[in-house]
Structure formats: structure tokens, C-alpha cells
Structure 1
């Protein structure tokens, strides 16, 4: 392990000691990472209760405005946002089905991030720079850009911020206009189609333009963008993909947010033919999401539907997805337990011999909510789940679940299975559709206002499809896999 990485850790821990006397932030119990409850004005925004669907905040949650850190010497620096954090995660993966051989791997993942943002003092002009260094050690497998991205600027953008451009809403909140240009990171909706991917060691980011009308506290808000994805290069500086454009617009309607928040949206992808491994594609994806709470009950819901059409490598594109989650929170119980049931259907290619591609395009979504071991992505899958979440202590959150997985089309692939030779797909469909089932549990404990810990375990039971494809490529198979991890995250500011 290289010495500069530990220097970052020592620095963060040292800074954290200066603030330990201050109050801790409140936890939420939705299954996604904790956020600070700071809103003190009338606000129509309601957070979805669904499991692990809440987007990362903007700026990221490890960032603080220096005037709000509780340090007297910094109380006048209202114009400066600063963040510094360090994360280390040990993983034990036994018989990982993503790998091309059956073995045990014990990687150690390190990630350091630093953020600097300037706002208000130069309005309407604002700036953001964010640095990341991501590495993996102690692994049996070659470097990949899921875990490695050394000394990289993941955000460098300028913003024009017009606070009163659209006046105020009926509650008195400003309707601002924000126009950003440069390299950006953000998450949207339920993170399934656009996410920075906080679990993974490296970050999804883009270069281009983004415009936002309104803000979360308003009764309506629109977010639109046209960007090119950034290619993560392991040993070089990252660069944008000049042959691909990703664009979209999202509407947020919160007038009835105590009952339902409605989010119609559209995303599209245009990709050039590179004359080699990448085909020409043009994919259009209109969709709608609605989430909320049934009136006079503690029953919550999160519903979504997506349709995709266009052209995909010379074929017609026709794909779809349905997402349904219902939950119930026992508000009278001390631990505020929430139980939920989820079902997701994501189409796969029904017939490899016709001229239509039915495989769903997940764009730049967050894969891990589909399975705790990171095996499943939003493609060719049927996934029923049961989840339980509770909070036995203000600093402790626990969740667990049981999941089943089937291919939506048994003639299409299981994307993350194995790594070569196309053996993640049986075009004949004779390998079946049952991928397996899994059970998982996770505990998150805030040790201090600056140090968070996570402990997790998942066991995957191999289904018929996985066993058949492993036999085809490896000549052997296993009953299942084990995934255990311990994670420590340290932030300079509470």
C-alpha cells in the first residue's frame, strides 16, 4: 500500500478531531446513505421511502459549507464549500460468478475524494472542482476501471446561477436557473438509469452541459442535459467519449407530494459506429415514475415504467421495464421498521434470429440495488425481493432481504456472468432462465460524527442457468457464492 494514501487518512482523522464535540447528523431509514436534515423553510420535496433509491446530494454529502462547520475561524466563509473523505473497504469473495475461474479473492479497495466549490461571492458565476483517487490491492485479478482511477479530476465545471430568474413559488421559495458546463457528476430519479455509482470504487461522470429550472423545494422542477460520458483510463488521464452523446430531460411535479410525486422523463443515447467493436445506435427512452404514501396510512409506493425504441446496431430497438415497490413503516414501534416488497421486470432479447433487439439499455445506472453482491444489472431480469429495514439506535441502521432472479428471456445473456467467450448467453434457451436466489444483511454504524462503518454479508445460491453456463466454460460449477465486506469511511467535516 503506497504511503501517500495513508497520509490522506491521517490528515482526515486529524481534521475530524477538531469537530467531534459538535452534534451528530440525523439518520434516515430508507436504506440509502444518511443525509442531514437541514431544511427549515416550507418545502414540497418528499423523499421516496423505497429501498436504496435516493440520489446523492448536490454537492455530495461529504461536502460542507465552511460557515456551517461550527469552527469560529471559518464562520464568514459562506462562499466556500469544501469536502475531504477517505474510504477503505475489504471484500471477501468466494466463488465469484463474475470471474472466469472459480476461486477466492480478498481485495482491498481505497478511495480518496476532495471537493472545492465557490459560490455566491462571484454570482452568477460559480465553480466546482472534485478530485478522486481510486485503487485496489491484494486481488488475484488484473486492474480494471471499476476499481482503478488514479489522481483524476472527476468534476471541473463552471455554473451560471440566477437565484430569482423565475421568481418565487407560492411558498416563497426562489425558482433559480442553473446552467453548468464542463465535467460533471450527478444522480437522478431512483439512480437506476443515471448514477455516480457510490458503491463502486470509481465514478460515472460526463462532459457537456446541464440546465436546471427550479429546485427541490419548488412545486415543479425541470432538469435537462446533453453530455458525453467520460472514459475511465486506468493509467492515463480520463477523456470524453467523442462517439457517444447522452441526453435527457426530467420533470418533477410536487404539488401533491404528500400523496404522490410524479416524474415524467426522457433519456436518449446516440452512438457512432467506430468501424470495429462498437455499432451505431440511437435509443430513445420515454418513462414515468411516481412515488409517495397512501393517504392516512404508512403504506408507501414507488412505481416506474420505461419504454425504449430506436435503432441498435442495424436492428430495431423495442424494450421495456416495469418497477414496483410497496412498503409499510411501523411508525409506532421504537425501531421504526419498514418492510417492503419489490418486483422488477427488465426485458431481454426474445429472439436472437429476428431483426429486433429487445434487450433493455440501462444507460449509466447504479447496479447494486438489484443485488447486494453486485451481480445483477438492469438488463434481462425478473427480480422479486423482500426487504426489512430498521434503526435500533440513532447511529445504527440495519437492513436485510431475500431475492430471487430469473432471466426475462432465456435466450439472452446474464451480463455479469463469467468474462469471455460469450458463455453468459445460451441462444437456444436450453440452459433455462433461473439464475439463483440470495439472502443479504447489512449494518451501518456511525462511530463518530466523522467516521462511518459498514458491515455486510450476502450468500448467492446458483440457479440452473448459472450452473449450466459455468459447466460450458469452466467444466465445473459450485452451489453458490459468499460475499462479505467491511467498510470504513472518514470525512473531514461532520
Structure 2
């Protein structure tokens, strides 16, 4: 019960090192109830400690996984993920944050995928220094293992959907002033291995960049510049050393009943001897009917990402989404953000104060008929072959989210994906059905 009370007061964030426990601290001081102050708790002079964690149980069943290309699971897959963290503050400047996670999977016919299982490894393990003043200009430095997430997670995300989240070895410098926050970082992804304390820094991939955000009244902006390197990158053209820069901007905000989240990115660089010229555009525009029961929000998402026009030339036109969220288009996570054009109408309704219903219809086409279709991790699902069909798939889904109690949530999702002409012509013609039931407790 003490944990539930704490969860009700603490503002829990997707990245747990960003949790805001100020409200809980004030409530504890006002009530003089030291037993309930288990977050931001004084342990010595000038030393404070917070603890917390996550528990998630997830069951999913896929009929004809990857449109019949993967081995069929007999009874579905049961996944569980647990994490615990400690946040130690030393005075006004220093901080140490450690988070351990364990992810286990049972029932996958072909064995656990790379994002299914990791018995025990740190997802965050860093030291941070920051200037003392709050409410004014502040600078800070964070070094060590850390999860990264920027903007809407279209380019860099901690990958909440899959059973194993994504971490980086990184050095991150940040500055905040007024409405602005600027982050500069150098990072390498951690390679997920299924044992205990055996994850390691990638020796072939590296990411560096600057990401700036300005929060405004009507419109807020993200502007970023990223440089990505992969010594053994693979595309339809073959395998080569990839050096790619990305320039992007995101516009997001709300006014009256309208809200929007639009993002544009352009990419250049070199893939072996070939030039890189790629781009992507993603929009999410919604309208909330405030005077209607359930306050339904109708939204239209339109997105397009370039594909390679000619695998035999000296130019690579395929976009690289770098490290996006795993369930980029939906919980069934079958298609990834490369060489596509999609139209995605969606509807959300508040059935009760703690119950949200969401439904969507997603229609996919290939942007280039000379390139294939890809999974969320960037791996090729089907090459173009001799097919010149554009239509890839139609995916209909409905989901229910129930916030049962402070810290507790449950989600149920059902989806049906019908392959289009391209998948059928390249040998992936089975319709896919997906069910997901999950429960999570965060404290």
C-alpha cells in the first residue's frame, strides 16, 4: 500500500531517471510520515536516495507470423520484464543512477528473438554532474550506460514495445534556459545478449548529434543534426561502410480542439562508394470533440520514407530511421519505417475515466518499386524481386487501455493484417492475426 501511495504522488516518466518525485516529497514533509517517504529519502547529510521499478507481463499470439514467413507458435508467447533502480543524489551537483532489468520469454517456436530475452543487465548505469540552480540556466554532463529518447521516438527511442529496451554507452551534455533545451551526445548502442551481465558496446555502430527543443505557447519545435556510422551496413545494394548524416525538424503543438505533430528529415552521406540521398516525412494531426461523450479524438497520420530507386547505381536512396521505437506503426510490429507510404486514420475514445479505446486502419504502399519492405529493426522482409506492385498491406487494429489503480495499467490489442499485391507476389501471402494482453506495474 505504501508503494501504491508513492506511485500516486510521483510523476513516472518513460525514462525512469526523469521521474519527478517533488510532489511526493512535499506530501511526506507536510504529513511528517517518514515511512511513506521512500522516494527522495535522506540517508545522510546532503545524500538522498530514490528507488523504484517496473513489472510487465505480456502475452501475445500471432497467427501466420510475418505473413507466413516465420515459424508458427503453437500457443503464443509469454513475456515478462522486471527492472529495479536506485537514484542517489550527492549534494546539489552529483548523481548516480543504476537500473537493472531482466527480460524472459517462453513459447517462441523459433526461439527468442534478439529483442525477446536478456536475463539480467543494466539498462542505465551512469554518473551525472549538473549545475545547482533550478528555474534558470542549467548545464549538465551524463556519462555511462543510458537509455536515450528524443521527440516522438521516430529516430531515437528506448524501444518500450518489445520485451528488451534499448540502451547506449553514451556521453551526453545538456543545457537548459527558458523554453530551450539543447543536448549534445556521442553514443554507441549496447548489443543485447541473452545471458547475465554480458551486454557489450557495439564496435561497428556509432551515433553523434545535437538535439534542440523549444517549448512555446502555440507551437513547439525540435531541431536536430545527427551523424550515424555503421561499418557493416546491409542494404539491397550489398554490404559496405555507411556514414550518414541526418538533418531534421519537428513541429508540434495544440490549439483549441486541434493538435499536431509533424516531422521532416533529410539524409546524406556515403555507403561504400555510393552517395546517400534519402528523406522522410511523418505527420499526425488530430481533432478532439470536447462536447461529445468520451471526448473522441479523430486523427489522420500520413507518412512517407524514401526507398532505393536502383540497387545497381552509385546512389543509395533508402532512408535509415536509425534507432526508432519498436512498435513504430502498431503493436503487431510487422513493418518498419523504410521505403513506404502509408495512410493511417485513427480514433480514440475515453470510455471511462480510466479506460481508453483506440482503433485504427493502416494502409501501406512501397515508395519505390525497386526496393523491398523492411521490419522495424531495419532487416529486409522481402526483396523487390520481379514485382512492381506498390501495395504492401492493410492493418486494422483495436486496443483498450485500462489504468486500474495508481501505478497499474492493462492493455489489450487485436489486429488483423491482410497482405497486399507485393507481399503475395513475393511469397508472403498469408493473412496475419495478432492478439496482445499485457499488465504493468510501475512504482
TM over 0.5: yes
Displacement after TM superposition at 1:101 (Å): 4.0
Partner of 1:115: 85
Which structure: greater strand fraction? 2
Instruction: Please tell me whether the aligned partners of residues 163 and 174 of structure 1 are also in contact (alpha carbons under 8 angstroms).
Output: no
Matched, 1:443 2:394: no
Partner of 1:192: 154
Matched, 1:234 2:198: no
Displacement after TM superposition at 1:245 (Å): 1.5
Task: Describe the superposition over 1:347-386 as per-residue Cα deviations: whole angstroms up to 9, x where unpaired.
Answer: 1111111111111111111131313310121111111111
Instruction: Please tell me whether the aligned partners of residues 292 and 302 of structure 1 are also in contact (alpha carbons under 8 angstroms).
Output: yes
1:161 aligned to 120, 130, 133, which one?
Answer: 130
1:38-437 pair list within 5 angstroms: 56-59=14-17, 67=25, 72-75=34-37, 77=41, 79-97=48-66, 100-101=69-70, 103-105=72-74, 106-119=76-89, 121-164=90-133, 173-214=135-176, 218-235=178-195, 237-254=198-215, 257-272=216-231, 279-294=240-255, 297-416=256-375, 424-428=382-386, 430-437=387-394
Displacement after TM superposition at 1:258 (Å): 2.0
Tell me, what secondary structure is at the counterpart of 1:466? helix
Measure, in 2, the Cα distance between the counterparts of 1:378 and 1:315. Answer: 22
Instruction: Please tell me whether the aligned partners of residues 211 and 223 of structure 2 are also in contact (alpha carbons under 8 angstroms).
Output: yes
Tell me, what secondary structure is at the counterpart of 2:363? strand
Displacement after TM superposition at 1:303 (Å): 1.4
Task: Describe the superposition over 1:95-152 as per-residue Cα deviations: whole angstroms up to 9, x where unpaired.
Answer: 1126634634500011011111112x33311100010101110221122221011111
Displacement after TM superposition at 1:72 (Å): 3.0
Aligned CA distance change for structure 1 residues 390 and 59 (closer, same or farther; 3 Å): farther
Task: Describe the superposition over 1:11-68 as per-residue Cα deviations: whole angstroms up to 9, x where unpaired.
Answer: xxxxxx334468957xxxxxxxxx949xxxxxxxxxxxxxxxxx83452669899746
Task: Describe the superposition over 1:449-484 as per-residue Cα deviations: whole angstroms up to 9, x where unpaired.
Answer: 23211111111111111112226xxxxx32x11101
Relative contact order (alpha carbons < 8 A, sep ≥ 6): 1 or 2 greater? 1
Tell me, what secondary structure is at the counterpart of 2:109? coil
Larger CA deviation: 206-215 vs 222-231: 206-215
Tell me, what secondary structure is at the counterpart of 1:272? strand
| Root-mean-square deviation over aligned CA pairs | 2.8
Aligned CA distance change for structure 1 residues 448 and 439 (closer, same or farther; 3 Å): same
Gaps of 5+ in 2: 43-47
Instruction: Please tell me whether the aligned partners of residues 169 and 187 of structure 2 are also in contact (alpha carbons under 8 angstroms).
Output: yes
Tell me, what secondary structure is at the counterpart of 1:97? helix
Instruction: Please tell me whether the aligned partners of residues 64 and 83 of structure 1 are also in contact (alpha carbons under 8 angstroms).
Output: no
Instruction: Please tell me whether the aligned partners of residues 148 and 234 of structure 1 are also in contact (alpha carbons under 8 angstroms).
Output: yes
Measure, in 2, the Cα distance between the counterparts of 1:86 and 1:305. Answer: 35
Aligned CA distance change for structure 1 residues 292 and 274 (closer, same or farther; 3 Å): closer
Aligned CA distance change for structure 1 residues 289 and 450 (closer, same or farther; 3 Å): closer
Gaps of 5+ in 1: 1-16, 26-34, 38-54, 472-476
Tell me, what secondary structure is at the counterpart of 1:73? helix
Aligned CA distance change for structure 1 residues 416 and 208 (closer, same or farther; 3 Å): closer
- TM-score, L = length of structure 1: 0.80
Matched, 1:488 2:442: no
Measure, in 2, the Cα distance between the counterparts of 1:123 and 1:414. Answer: 50
Partner of 1:50: none
Measure, in 2, the Cα distance between the counterparts of 1:188 and 1:354. Answer: 34
Instruction: Please tell me whether the aligned partners of residues 325 and 341 of structure 1 are also in contact (alpha carbons under 8 angstroms).
Output: yes
Measure, in 1, the Cα distance between the counterparts of 2:27 and 2:337. Answer: 39
Measure, in 1, the Cα distance between the counterparts of 2:7 and 2:164. Answer: 31
Task: Describe the superposition over 1:73-94 as per-residue Cα deviations: whole angstroms up to 9, x where unpaired.
Answer: 2537162221122111010110
Partner of 2:45: none
Instruction: Please tell me whether the aligned partners of residues 66 and 82 of structure 1 are also in contact (alpha carbons under 8 angstroms).
Output: no
Aligned residues: 427
